[in-house]
Structure 1
């Protein structure tokens, strides 16, 4: 497909898809995609677009302005952009990148979750490059397997949500607090003590704990208590009142 965007050079390509009704209602789907090689003249500015944009930087620099934020992504980083807000992105050096406009069931919620947890830029994502290239290839077939594309793209978002360098490993510095909560969930738990067990200030501990678990410390405690209550309901003859007291 001919590309009209200024600053896009050969051998760049882009294309569109026509998702089925089922895909639009129930799957992740990609409406537009491409592999661009750009000069420093490349620039896109919009007030609104009804989609989300994932960009993987192969090399070069990619700048984004949106929601009063100005940030730059570089080689092996991924940008996740909510195009419902006014936005501008551009290159300041020769840049190569893969891009996917996507939408579908749960996209807004997942993007909001990832932005709240990590922001716009995801680092050290080179392990996702092969998967993104595979999606790009599958989208160019005459008969697109929408279910496979959705599954593969969901996997990409899931791996962004749990980066390789933040997976829960046995020697993670926040494990003492998680261990303490799981052992003492039936008791009153002090936030200062949890932070101290990890050698962190309370504010730093709360931010790190959320990034590590996806919960605030209090939210994790409540979730774990509910989990234990369900177990007691299923495996004992205790009443709801007794379990609530516990």
Structure 2
């Protein structure tokens, strides 16, 4: 009987240790809202992946990522419990919530796994969202409210703000990075972070928000890749506005030269 009581105490203490006090929480500074351009992402997919579906040429969501001061990514919850003072919803429970969500189809359209297998499209999308939650969502301000993180307050809700983004980027043949940044500034956008693939094609564009979600801010570092890293560098939007390049998906690329996704 005594051993059983000791075991119960240990289990209870272990559960308590998962909740960090307010004093111990390391405060988040801002979020990166990353939008990806499927033609560029499909040109250089990760190793072992390919785009089985020809995605339309429009921006879709890659993720919503909490950052510490000085543009330091918040580690996954399993590596740093100080990111939140609440016990996060588990990744497996998030899969159940999203699988039964009436907005699942909207998520698959606007926050898709670009490399989902056609015969297992729903399963692969759920795995993608599970990964994003485990790596980023569990350390967000909505660590125990995944519906807010994915849908109601954050990621899907922000997307309409960028309905004219492709036009506002103002791509033309032989555009330079500095031209694109100026076009965005002229159209009242805050400074984003630019990410290109190795072919100088815009792969992702990341916008930054303070913790209250409503205040867009300049990203502290507009360079996000080894290419397109100077304002005089060439930048291309394949299949995009301005006819800079034809859409040319590579469905069988081995991904040897891809730029790693966050």
* Higher percent of residues as helix: 1
On whether the aligned pair clears a TM of 0.5, the verdict is no
Using structure 1 for the length normalisation, give the TM-score.
0.25
Higher-RCO chain (CA-CA 8 Å, sequence separation at least 6): 2
Q: Which has the greater radius of gyration? A: 1
